[in-house]
Amino acid sequence: MQLTLSVTGRRCDLALHPISPCTARNIEDLGRKFYTKKYIHWWRGGRTSTCGMLLDDDCRAQAVVGQSQVPVDLSGAAANASHLRRERYLSSRARHLALLGYDDEHCRATWTWHGVETFDPAKLRVTAHRWDRVTGQPDYVVLERVLYDGRCADVEDYHGSTGFTLVDPRVIDLEELRRHEARDQGKLRDLPRDAFPGRSRPDVPAACVVSGRSLLLPVPRSDAEGVSRGGGGSIAVRLRIQGDVVVQAGGEAHGCEYCRRSLEALAEMATGLTVHECFMLSDEDLLPFLPRVHAHLDCSSRAMDALRAAVRDWERRRAA
């Protein structure tokens, strides 16, 4: 039998971009015309972003199981939504951030699972994030991902879009946010610049020349494995799982020093998390545990790709 969850309402596609003071002035001068200064949809490349359905009063959800329609209550998702982690943008070296994108695309989002015998609403698990602090609007909650019985949807799609309007770019002063954060944590008002949260990572770049050295973090009797390759290196993530909790994470890293450090940090982070929590991680969660690099390296993203591949491998093995 097939299960399809449909959510009808407004789709959001927003991103935060680190920008220079000069770019901040350009945004204030140009407004929406700022979007035209680069190729179409370039703004989607923000490292901190969201794409999903806005859980507001107009949002409607229902499930179709076989030929039967079942109403679904998503109010709990909004109530339990997690706040967007401030560390994701407070750790940026930028002086300002720009909020870009849109949040008014009326459409219908669907998630479809095959091979579902019966529907139990309690088995629906959703990931929703609050963007209240960023947008300045209360109860601004975005539904991003849905799992059923621990499984990702076999098919995810959006239908019936009626178009959208890009929001007015908003400039966020990060230094002001850091000062508020310091006060909230009871720290001195006049902290030195390098004392703010997220600035403790060393500014020493890891060697980005591929060497013959490899890192092996053994995981005896692993239950899942995922591999990601690229840039002359590769990362394999192996997980040992009990129930749905990762009790040991490790694997192999071949390539540059940053590649090896990414695996070390990932293994420490994933251990103790549920499989669902591992799947929801991004390289933004990993970066605070890594040294800053001046060259553009994607090893942290590759490590996360390998982790998600391992989660999918575990799901396939469990379903077999």
Q: Are 116 and 35 within 8 A, CB to CB?
A: no
57-79 residues labelled b (16+ CB within 10 A) or e (exposed): eebebebbbeeeeeebebeebbe
- Per residue in 181-204, is it b (16+ CB within 10 Å) or e — as a string? bbeeeeeeeeeeeeebbbbeeeee
Question: Which domains are present in the chain?
Answer: 3-176 (no CATH), 214-319 (3.90.1010.10)
At 191 the pLDDT is 32
Mean pLDDT by 10 residues, the chain (320 residues): 93 84 85 78 70 90 88 81 62 74 93 89 87 83 90 91 88 71 48 34 48 85 92 88 92 88 89 82 72 63 89 87
Task: List 245's β-bridge partners, or say none.
Answer: 242, 274
Q: What length does the chain have?
A: 320
Q: What pairing do the DSSP bridges indicate for beta strands 124-130 and 82-83?
A: parallel
* DSSP conformation letters of 246-280: EEEEEEEEESSHHHHHHHHHHHHHHTTSBHHHHHH
> pTM (2 decimals)?
0.54
Measure the CA–CA gap between 255 and 137, rounded to whole angstroms: 45
Looking at residue 19, its pLDDT comes to 78
For the chain, what is the radius of gyration of the CA atoms?
21
pLDDT at 94: 65
Please name the residues in contact with 26: beta carbons below 8 A apart, sequence gap of 6 or more.
34, 37
Which tens digit of pLDDT belongs to each residue from 238-279?
999 998 899 999 999 998 888 888 899 899 888 888 887 787
